[in-house]
Structure 1
Amino acid sequence: MVSTKALETRRRITDATVQVMLTQGFPQLTLEEVAKQANVSKGGLLYHFSSKEELLMGVIEEQERRQFQQYQTYLGQGFGPMEAFVMLQAQRDEEFCLDIDTVLFLLSLLKENAAFVEERKKQVHQFFDHLMEQADPVEAMMIRFTLDGLKMSEHFQFGQPASDVRQALIERLLKQARKIDQAAK
């Protein structure tokens, strides 16, 4: 079992990685710079992540962990599964827009790590299977793909809706999600 201190150090390192990418750009993402930003030695960083590639996969895993934790929080607050999903996906990640070099590197990294990608696919598939067991699969997929498109347009800042249209879209998706959740009860 991993200690609380080790988990906290890993979290600091992954947070520092994101900060370096966002503030300095992907070309400046070095293990030395991440260690400096995380306030750990390079050896300490290498203890947790043996390479830049492993570090970036750790960032992806940490992001997934945080999303799952937030989803569980919404469920614990009494929201239904579909409504919790919409709320989670509707959160804006304006500060987390990566440049094209970073996106291309991450895509090539994922292509080279089939087992990592397969595990992610399996988790996403299980999550959506669970959601669709409780709802009309077509309605659930319409909500999912609408949110996917919204996230992509915002991430790449291409074709994104005006803020009032975005808000109306989210409100309509939440209303539909509540209907789905109510029908499942």
Structure 2
Amino acid sequence: MYISDQARNSAFKTLWKEEDLSYLAILYCDANGDIGYTPIKTDNTLIYIKHEEWPKIDDVRFKSLESLLDALEANGFKQVPGEMDSLELTWSSYPDLPTTLQEQLNEPGMFMLDRLYKFQFQFNRHAPGPSAFPISVDDDSVYLRKGLISAMDEIRFADIDSLIKASATYGDNGRILDWNINNSLVRTPKITWQH
């Protein structure tokens, strides 16, 4: 089982209250070999996923990330390490590292923990210029890319709801247009080499 402290914290930290999204998601290979994702949702005390195709764990509440991963593995899923994980390898066991996400999650049921969310935010500006912006997400905060709303350039927010509320100073009707997980980048774990 691959669970970093970062993943544990991200699973119980709210990214978007309106949708109960945590900062963590499950990226997986479905029965057709396609890459899919499902967000881990949280109420700050319990975590769960909403995924009708996984009926035994759909909407079941878990007290820990370990319990959720145990339930996935008990239902035939196999975890692989992602970019939040660390591996210790010997030089003699140098692996062929995947170059695409499709290579990394190459069998149905393979999954990893992930946090590379992408959000598109829209609001009606009080000033001329574009009204739709990408929201960046990092380990524990969300922010608008620099230069989109200059007064908000250096500000980090705990969640998307706080960012939307703050944007009301500069425009009206802020809302999320679209969101997903970046499913084009390979998630290379941190590798430490033993001599």
TM-score with structure 2 length normalisation?
0.22
Greater strand fraction, Structure 1 or Structure 2: 2
Q: Which has the higher helix share?
A: 1
